[in-house]
Structure 1
Amino acid sequence: MESWNQTSSDTVRAHAPLVVNRRIDEHVERCVRYMAEKGDRAEMSRYLERLEREWDVHRAVAVTTSALGLLGLLLGRRDGGRWRGLSTAAGALMLQHGLSGFSPLSELFRALGVRTRREIDLEKFAIKALRGDFERIPNEGGPMARANAALVAAQS
Structure 2
Amino acid sequence: MIPSTVNRVPQHTAEDINEQIRCDTEERVARLSAAGRQAIDQRLSELDQEWDIERTLEANAATLSLVGFTLGATVNRKWFLFPGVIAAFLLQHAVQGWCPPLPVFRRLGIRTASEIDYERYALKAIRGDFDKLTAEGTAETNAEQVVQAMRR
TM-score normalised according to structure 2 size: 0.79
Asked if 1:48 is matched to 2:59, the reply is no
Q: Which amino acid aligns with 2:122?
A: A
Residue 129 (structure 1) aligns with: 125
Structure 1 residue 9 displacement after superposition: 4.9
Percent identity, aligned pairs only, is 33
Any gaps of 5 or more consecutive residues in structure 1? 1-7, 137-156
Paired residues of 2:52 and 2:112 also in contact (CA < 8 A): yes
Q: Which amino acid aligns with 1:90?
A: I
Residue 34 (structure 1) aligns with: 31
Q: Which amino acid aligns with 1:68?
A: L
* Large movers: runs of 4+ above 6 Å: none
Q: How many aligned positions are there? A: 128
Give the Cα–Cα distance (whole angstroms) in 1 for the partners of residues 92 and 30 of structure 2: 37
Structure 1 residue 55 displacement after superposition: 0.6
SS at match of 1:122: helix
Residue 10 (structure 1) aligns with: 7
Give the Cα–Cα distance (whole angstroms) in 2 for the partners of residues 51 and 42 of structure 1: 14
Q: What CA RMSD, in Å, does the superposition of the two structures yield over aligned residues?
A: 1.6
Residue 112 (structure 1) aligns with: 108
